[in-house]
Structure 1
Amino acid sequence: MKLNRRLAVGLAVLAMGAGMSVTAHAADPLKVAAYPANPPWENKTESGAFEGFEVDIVNEIAKRMGTTADIEGMDFKALFVASAAGRVDMVISSLTITDERLQSQSFTQPYFEGALGVGVKEDSGITSLEGLKGKVIGTVATSFPEKYLAEHKDQIGFAENKSYDTTANMLTDLQNGRIDAVVNDVVGLRYAFGQMKGLKVGAEIVTGEKFAIMMPKGSDKLQKANDIISEMKKDGTLPKMYEKWMGVAPAPGSFAVTPMPVPTSAN
């Protein structure tokens, strides 16, 4: 009898241990990488916490997966390395879906249609792409704007494209007159220029960019994350986040309200 009781107790302890192991595994946080100075998409505050539109999105995805998001700040170029190596589960940083990136990365459905802005000094007189002819321009290294300028160099006719590791250094050089213009996400530029004197968006470039969350190629979390984004669009959660950070409600039929499948191409 005593032996049976001991056996029963032992089995119960083993079962509890197994249950605890499963629970601990289920509660593992999502490892998220982000460029830490990219408001209103993501930004690291003085307290060390992250905030922003995409921060709200990944936190909600994690919540609906039954866990939390552990966000780590990285240089922009390092984001792609971390994802390709599988060191993180997700990457956020107003990232554009491109066919080139899809060769080594996966993306969720888009939730924002981006456009590029030409950032200039207020007295520059630059009001269009044509105004960049013969000018020295700055972009962030490995970003979509850098690729866009390289592909349109002959058409635009700029003199040089200087590549920067950080947005802050790029905008400081613009403010100090070391470069004539910058090309970057127009939303981020307008947000930054609201806090930097003497700078403005001189022109906007419509590109049809699709912003989405980047994930390791073939991630087993991809479909679940994409399904949750669809739910967030349908139940109004994502449109509310959009309005909170962009200041306006998303347009009917836009990426912020339209559920879509996992993309297999940039088109």
Structure 2
Amino acid sequence: MLTRRLALGLVAALALGLPALAEGPLKVASYPANPPWENRTEAGTFEGFEVDIVNEIARRMGTTAQIEGYDFKALFVASASRRVDMVISSLTITNERLESQSFTQPYFTGALGVAVKEGSPIATVADLKGKVVGSIATSFPENWLKERAAEIGYADYKSYDTTANMLTDLMNGRLDAAVNDVVGLRYATTQMKGLAVPAEIVTGEKFAMMMPKGHEKLEAVNQIISDMKTDGTMAAIHEKWFGVKPAEGSLTLTPLPVPTSAD
């Protein structure tokens, strides 16, 4: 039962247009080594494009975001089991994922990149024929590669739990090429000497936040994302992390409903 003091506080907050008392922090799962989308700092805090978005969503809901790091594969289990309210990790909306998860509207059009050691003869996807390639387990890039195994003709495929291990194997010669999100790979070239990204693969994939299927906060979160797109907040976050303004008509600026398919 509400105490008289708490009841008066709620009435006052509503009268002033302040957010009502939140039930608690938004529990957010994140792959902790995925810059510039999200990355755990040496101090243990998270930063990145999607981190700024989720923190702003929480602020507008009158609460905070409690972000925890997970292995990439574990992100889906955490959401499906409702241990978390939301997942951020440059996740692609797919019809297969929509069968067991919900997604907010997308806010970025992704693409894949091919990473190699500088000096490698690999410059295009066609050059992957007969090579050893790798990507992140259960990710969109992994599925993309496996679906095109015969077409591409690579000699072997290696699956990794972390981007760091994948790129370490690439630089040590245990991989000929790594295929992953092109934005993340290009960022990695600024941190790792001798790494190059000679090819970009246009896929039309759409990045969004994943939430447990039918989560009670899904529509509210989606509306806040729409508001952030129209009031300039999303554009400012995009420019902060990518150095350029989002293109007119892009997913970063276009309000959309909760998706029911990947199309």
The normalised TM-score by structure 2 is: 0.94
Question: What does 1:163-174 align with in structure 2 at a 5 Å threshold?
Answer: 163-174=159-170
CA positional deviation for 1:90: 0.3
Please give the per-residue CA displacement for 1:63-93, whole angstroms capped at 9, x wherever unaligned.
Answer: 0001000000000000000000011000000
Question: What does 1:40-189 align with in structure 2 at a 5 Å threshold?
Answer: 40-189=36-185
Q: Which amino acid aligns with 2:239?
A: E
Gaps of 5+ in 2: 11-18
1:209 counterpart residue number: 205
Please give the per-residue CA displacement for 1:128-170, whole angstroms capped at 9, x wherever unaligned.
Answer: 1100000000100000000000111111111111000110000
Q: Which amino acid aligns with 1:216?
A: P
**1:27–1:66 Cα contact (<8 Å) kept:** no
Q: Secondary structure at the match of 1:127?
A: coil
CA positional deviation for 1:189: 0.3
Q: Secondary structure at the match of 1:148?
A: helix
> Is residue 261 from structure 1 mapped to residue 250 from structure 2 by the alignment?
no
| Aligned residue-pair number | 256
CA positional deviation for 1:177: 0.6
Q: Distance in 2 between matches of 1:187 and 1:159?
A: 26
Q: Secondary structure at the match of 1:26?
A: coil
Q: Distance in 1 between matches of 2:43 and 2:235?
A: 27
Question: What is the percentage of aligned positions where both structures have the same residue?
Answer: 71
CA positional deviation for 1:16: 3.9
Q: Distance in 2 between matches of 1:16 and 1:170?
A: 56
> Is residue 232 from structure 1 mapped to residue 228 from structure 2 by the alignment?
yes
Gaps of 5+ in 1: 1-10
1:38 counterpart residue number: 34
Bigger Rg, which one:
1
CA positional deviation for 1:15: 3.4
Cα root mean square deviation, aligned:
1.9
The normalised TM-score by structure 1 is: 0.92
**1:118–1:182 Cα contact (<8 Å) kept:** yes
Q: Distance in 1 between matches of 2:208 and 2:246?
A: 16
